[in-house]
Amino acid sequence: MKKHISLIVILIVVFSIVLSACGGQATPTPAPAVDVVALNSVVAEGRLEPIQGTNLSFSARGVVEQIRVKAGDSVKQGDVLVRLANAGQVEAQLVIAQNAYDTLLRTESGSRASLWKAYQDAQIVRGAAEKTWDDLNITDIENRIEDDKATVEDRQQDVEDRQADFDKYKDLDKDNSKRKTAKDDLDKAITALHLAQRNLEETIRERDSVRAAYDAALGLEAEAKHQYEISLDGPNADQLTLSKANLDAAKAALSNYVLTAPFDGVVADVNVKVGDQVGAETRAVSLANFTSWTVETTDITELEVVKLSVGQNVTLVPDALPDLILHGTVTEISHVYIQQGGDILYTVRILVNETDPRLLWGMTVEATFEVAQ
């Protein structure tokens, strides 16, 4: 509606002039000057976005162990935001890989002592992982897995039985008591099946997560031993390449369990709590750089977009702050359209030249594009 305000005002003025003329006796009132630029202006709705903004999630599944930030905190690129419970073992592996790589970089001939130390550290990590594995009551877990599997099978049979019961009445009216009872029984059976399946998955993870950590530690120890043994003949380019690959792999593995800030900014929101089970589908932290703002329009039509160009000046007024007038410049005009309610729309992006402490992410603004006659 806002983009038609100027036209409505002009129509009211013209209508007032006509009424004055029809009155005959009254002294004609001069019509106010009409802003010609306003007639040619393009007015659109837009939404404020920070110059940088992102939602961060973990690549791996796990339990949140530590949250180091809260909403409103300023952070630097690389700062740790949230850690999962199993990050410690991966960090130990990264330290070992980093030590091995740094050793090769520091001295062309390599350092047998440092590689030996890396090998010893790897043995310590492997020993801890091995003890955790040995302390695990595998027999008990596997017995529970079998019990959980049997429960899942029973719940699956319950679902099939309840489905068969429901099929007898499914064509009846939805308010029929027999149909409703059968439908409730089916829904309860499905819920019970899902619960049984989750219990089975959790029991399997009790065994597999510990075994995976043990296997990773064994692999790291074997690689550290290999690096030490080949150092007896002196390092070479192949060693350095392999060591760097191991370091990159360790960093990539750690990034699955530790969220860090990808840029300097402010924590906009923390969406997890200590103890939460999270994964790739869980938004953990929202981070933004509020030092400057952009606006993305939502309703520029095909008839209007042809009047706009990159570099064009724009006046911006936030709906929530009508007393605040901002200025901006068009930085991008989308070449891809969106069809909405029969209209063809194009997104225009605007860089805001000023800022104000009252501005918030997502605020709507009215954007007036200055179009020459």
Q: Which two tokens stand for residue 138?
A: 């595998």
pLDDT digits (tens, 9 = 90+) for 107-132: 655 567 778 888 899 999 999 999 99
The percent of residues above 70 in pLDDT, for the chain, comes to: 86
Non-local CB neighbours of 152 within 8 Å, separated by 6+ positions: 193, 196, 197, 200
Terminal CA-to-CA distance of the chain, rounded, Å? 23
DSSP-assigned letter for residue 360: -
Fold of 56-84+258-287: OB fold (Dihydrolipoamide Acetyltransferase, E2P) (2.40.50)
Query: Bridge-partner residues for 148, per DSSP?
Result: none
pLDDT digits (tens, 9 = 90+) for 75-102: 999 999 998 887 777 778 888 888 888 8
CATH level 2 (architecture), domain 35-52+289-369: Beta Barrel (2.40)
Q: Which residues of 57-71 are buried (b: 16+ CB within 10 A; e: fewer)?
A: bbeebbebbebebee
Q: Where are the alpha helices (DSSP H) in 261-310?
A: 302-305
Least confident of 11-15, 198-202, 261-265: 11-15
Whether residue 218 has pLDDT greater than 60: yes
The percent of residues above 90 in pLDDT, for the chain, comes to: 58
What pLDDT was estimated at residue 99?
A: 86
Nearest to 188 by CA among 214, 143, 158: 158
Let me know how many helices (H) and strands (E) the chain has, helices first. Answer: 8, 13
Query: Bridge-partner residues for 351, per DSSP?
Result: 294, 329
pLDDT digits (tens, 9 = 90+) for 256-315: 888 899 999 999 999 999 999 898 899 999 999 999 999 999 999 999 999 999 999 999
Q: Cβ(341)–Cβ(313) under 8 Å? A: no
Nearest to 207 by CA among 130, 133, 129: 133
Mean pLDDT of 187-215: 93
More confidently predicted of 184 and 244: 184
More confidently predicted of 240 and 117: 117
Other Cβ atoms less than 10 A from the Cβ of 11: the count is 11
Q: Cβ(301)–Cβ(343) under 8 Å? A: yes
Q: Environment class of residue 174 by beta-carbon count within 10 Å: exposed (0-12), middle (13-18) or buried (19+)?
A: exposed
What pLDDT was estimated at residue 233?
A: 65
Whether residue 4 has pLDDT greater than 50: no
pLDDT digits (tens, 9 = 90+) for 53-69: 999 998 888 899 899 99
Question: pLDDT band at 21, cuts 50/70/90?
Answer: very low
Mean pLDDT of 222-243: 76
What pLDDT was estimated at residue 19?
A: 46
